[in-house]
Amino acid sequence: MSRSMFPVARVSRTLIDVYIRFSLIALLAVFCFEIFRPFLDLIVWSVILAITLYPLHRRLQRRILAGHGRTATLLIVLVIAVVLVPTYLLGTALIESGEHAMAIARSGELRIPPPSESVAQWPVVGQRIYDFWLLASTDATAVMQKLTPQIKALGVTVIGAVGGLGAGLMVFVGALVVAGIFMAYGEGGAQAASRIASRISGPERGPVILALCTATIRAVAQGVIGIAFIQMLLIGIGFVIKGVPGAGLLALAVLLLGIMQLPASLVTIPVIIFVFATDGASTGNVAFAVYIFVAGLVDNVLKPMVLGRGVAVPMPVVLIGALGGMISGGVIGLFVGPVALAVAYQLFWQWVDEVRVEDVPPADEQTPAAGRALTRES
């Protein structure tokens, strides 16, 4: 009887050993993640930037015939310059505009032009806007005193946003530096990623999934950030030619809205209304309004053409992943979302299309029952 207990005891002991090993591995993984978590956003951004910029790195390396490290350093310096120079100019313009506005407010020389009579004819809110605008043009001091609480709250919000933007810019610059290191060891990194993917998904599926992830990240970078930049240029040029006040800030707002997957009409429509309210409905203003309105919708045409290019999944899957990832995870989710959804889409259809040999019925079972009956009768 004691002999019959030995197999059960061995099974129990083996199971306990498995549980202990699994618990220790899980504890080690959690501990490592807690150590790595402060750098998670930085590393994710670095991988995204390295994957996006690596084709440009290869082209630049062929042109200048330099090593991987020197080419990566040159590319990162150029990208940082492209990012920091406009940011510095924008910050300087904001500071100067704020100082100028404060000087005008202190001197009491604030002059607001009276509204046009056509403003009162606007549906629903026209009369209210006209009355408030008229009051501001006649007694700007009273309006400023009335709006003081809202102005203070807006100022606190703007300061917080500027601080967050500065911190995000520092993280972005740090991610660019780390991405340069990744690109300097690009070939070794690609081989390591292929080995990891092959170990997880098998030698056949691993490289395919890795190529899918790489193509999806590049498609999102081109289809979201690239299109937002093109849209900013188109709308910004129109603002500058028309002489819209704060054209640079408004163009920057269009870029940020494009990256956040929000419509540019949130900026273009108020600007069109402002132009018509201050300058009337002339032929030039109508042409300006049509151009700006069409330029604000150009992303609806370009995005379906670019997002699905080079990716072995339908464009709606990538677009839904980008939108859902942006809503749930912010800007990083904009890239992680479509990658996860594209991989899940591919794995799902591979599982659907996979037919095992043991699942295929014999030849006689594939013949319909009625056909077999007719065969026997004959």
8 A C-beta contact, residue 72 and residue 183: yes
Task: Return the closest-CA partner of residue 212 out of 341, 45, 49.
Answer: 341
- Among 48-52, 107-111, 305-309, the least confident range: 107-111
> Is residue 28 very low, low, confident or very high in pLDDT (cuts 50, 70, 90)?
very high
8 A C-beta contact, residue 227 and residue 319: no
pLDDT at 23: 92
8 A C-beta contact, residue 48 and residue 37: no
- Average pLDDT (31-37) is 91
Rounded Cα distance between 257 and 246, Å, is: 17
pLDDT at 363 exceeding the cut of 60: no
pLDDT at 129 exceeding the cut of 70: yes
pLDDT tens digit sequence for 212-269: 888 888 888 777 777 888 888 888 888 888 888 777 778 878 887 787 777 888 888 8
pLDDT at 326: 75
Query: What percent of the chain clears pLDDT 90, i.e. is strictly above it?
Result: 3
Which pair of tokens denotes residue 197? 């993917």
pLDDT at 31: 93
Identity at 166, one-letter amino acid code = G
pLDDT at 376 exceeding the cut of 50: no
Residue written as token pair 């098998």: 202
Total Cβ atoms within 10 A of residue 331:
18
pLDDT at 367: 46
pLDDT at 372: 44
pLDDT tens digit sequence for 191-214: 888 898 888 888 888 888 888 888
- Among 31-40, 88-97, 166-175, 338-347, the least confident range: 88-97
Residue written as token pair 């056509």: 118
pLDDT at 251: 80
Identity at 182, one-letter amino acid code = F
Rounded Cα distance between 97 and 91, Å, is: 10
> Is residue 144 very low, low, confident or very high in pLDDT (cuts 50, 70, 90)?
low
Angle between helices 148-184 and 186-201 (to 10 degrees): 90
CA 91 vs CA 84, 85, 152, 165, 296: distances in Å? 10, 10, 20, 11, 25
8 A C-beta contact, residue 292 and residue 235: yes
> Is residue 357 very low, low, confident or very high in pLDDT (cuts 50, 70, 90)?
very low
pLDDT tens digit sequence for 95-119: 666 666 666 666 655 566 777 767 6
pLDDT at 85 exceeding the cut of 90: no
Rounded Cα distance between 261 and 254, Å, is: 10
Task: Return the closest-CA partner of residue 47 out of 211, 215, 147, 183.
Answer: 183
